[in-house]
Amino acid sequence: MMNQKEAAHAGGQAPALDVKDLVVEYRTHHATVQAVNHVDLEIPSGKALGLVGETGAGKTTIGLAIMRLLQEPPAAVREGSIVFRGEELRSLSEKEMQQVRGSQISMIFQDPMTSLNPVMTVEKQIAESIRHHEDVTQEEALQKAREMLSMVGIPVERGSEYQHQFSGGMKQRVMIAIALACRPELLIADEPTTALDVTIQAQVLEKIKELRNRYGTSMLMITHDLGVIAEVCDEVSVIYAGHIVEHGTLEDIFENCLHPYTQGLFDSLPNLEDRKAKLKPISGLMPDPTCLPEGCAFWDRCPYARGICKMKKPARAYCDDGHHYVECHLYEDGKITKSEVKDVG
């Protein structure tokens, strides 16, 4: 029987991005860091996928691998495919990839301070990106840049200022304007609000959501923050030690999560209904990526670990909807019914 994804493909709905079995390592003289280990990600056209996990789980490496911006060496994409609009990005030449970056796939980085050019006015930076991909005059590009500034809520007259004259939230809005200036089909946002204070975070997320809806842009939202995921995503992939351990719709993950690590992420959030309740952080640390365990990478932090967990990697098990999946020995008998889930949690 076909699962939901296979059925969607058969029905002609090709995903915007389809990453399969991606393996990325960083090699040094002393060790090999296994940063991304057989990752599968799929972003349905026009949808937003949240990639959530702790710092060091391999999230940014995946974003950079899709953009082909990893510094090789020390990085090396060892296996897997990255298909965008039916085209394998790994087979493109650097020149062809330059045409994809910015115009078809854009990325917003965590820290706008290090992403903007300090000696160029912000409108010129947006215009430069437009001219790189579109056959327009400097004046036309500047006109478009000003439209983008106003779209992200920055007064047009401030376009002739430099990045040091802007607050953190405004700089990130400029980054969003640059990323969306050429109407990319896929936006990769890597912790875009982490460097901002809470009120500005909400404004920036709102702006990303509004512009995505307007242009129908697909998105990969990389974050450690479940609040950000709840705000902007349709689907969620949970990553641990460079591997996706659970995937489902926003509702699946927020209302019926299966993997003990996902449960741990939710348990470590503050409980707004019980302000005296203590936080329950996940004990321990992620395994050393230069020496990952043979079995489940979460075994020494997992309250449900059994003997087999240390020895053998769990296989993927799908829920009866054919879409929500988990990789954990607690569910290894194959198909999971939603009633089983409650016994485990």
Query: Would you tell me which residues interact with ligand SF4 (CB under 6 A)?
Result: 260, 296, 298-299, 302, 304-305, 309, 314, 328-330
* Interatomic CA distance for residues 136 and 155, integer angstroms: 23
Query: In this complex, which beta carbon is closest to ligand SF4, that of residue 214 or of residue 310?
Result: 310
- Report, in Å, the least distance between residue 227 CB and ligand SF4: 24
Give the CA-trace dihedral at 52, 58, 59, 60, to 10 degrees: 150
Question: How far is the C-alpha of 298 from the C-alpha of 55, rounded, in Å?
Answer: 15
Count other C-beta atoms under 10 Å from residue 51's C-beta.
29
Nearer to ligand SF4, 80 or 295 (CB): 295
Q: How far is the CB of 291 from ligand SF4 (least distance, A)?
A: 17
Cβ 229 to ligand SF4 shortest distance, Å: 20
Supply the minimum distance, in Å, between the C-beta of residue 307 and ligand SF4.
10
**CB closer to ligand SF4 out of 221 and 317:** 317
Which of 105, 317 has the CB closer to ligand SF4?
317
**Cβ proximity to ligand SF4, 179 vs 326, nearer residue:** 326
Write down the residue that tokens 């967990």 correspond to. Answer: 309
Q: How far is the CB of 330 from ligand SF4 (least distance, A)?
A: 5
